[in-house]
Structure 1
Amino acid sequence: MPEHAYILHITERSLWEAARERGTYEMSTRGRTLQDEGFIHCSTRAQLPAVAAFLYGSYDGPDELVVLVVDPARLDVPLRYEAPEPGGEELPHVYGPIPVDAVVDVEAWT
């Protein structure tokens, strides 16, 4: 994966708004924090539909979902591409909080 390629993270709008106030985003997956998981789950653009379906396929929360577009060059923590199981597809994992200024765009998820 080219270093300049953006990575994506799907989340609830209220969680992103809270992160903007704090200055860092620290949620890993639906309801789990960076501290719970040890890293923040992300995806490439091609992986996003499957990841969104897995995490939010039956989402009925009060918030709309948004996609954070993250520039890896702006991260000050490790980014590793790892497979959840041997031989599986590698997904980007961010090993620390994502600075708000590393998020270059926020897209609505439909």
Structure 2
Amino acid sequence: MKEDLICGVAILLYLVLLYLLTTAFIKTGRAVDRYKMKKKTDKIKVGQRYEHKNYFKDPFERGKHVIKILDVKEGYALYEYEEKLYIRSSVSLEDIAKIYVLITDIK
């Protein structure tokens, strides 16, 4: 009886330790992803031109869906389409880093 209790406590401690290690690995992975995204979003500046990744790969659509960054504030970027100057929109910097390809860089 005593051996069964000790075995049960050992299994419980093993599961708790496994849970803690798993959560530590997950949180570390998320922190690394946030750091990498921060490095990408810090490079986004006013005046840069981007194109959507899907259109960038298509030779027939390339150059037709270009956006220009007008303003960057608090994690969001105001942009306008180059062909349609009257359309202005806002998107998060993370979305720009994930979805768009940099065409021209401003130094």
Same fold per superposition (TM over 0.5):
no
Higher RCO, 1 or 2 (CA under 8 Å, sep at least 6)?
1
Q: As a proportion of its length, which structure holds more strand?
A: 1
- Scaled by the length of structure 1, the TM-score of the pair is 0.26
Higher-helix-fraction structure: 2
TM-score, normalised on structure 2?
0.27
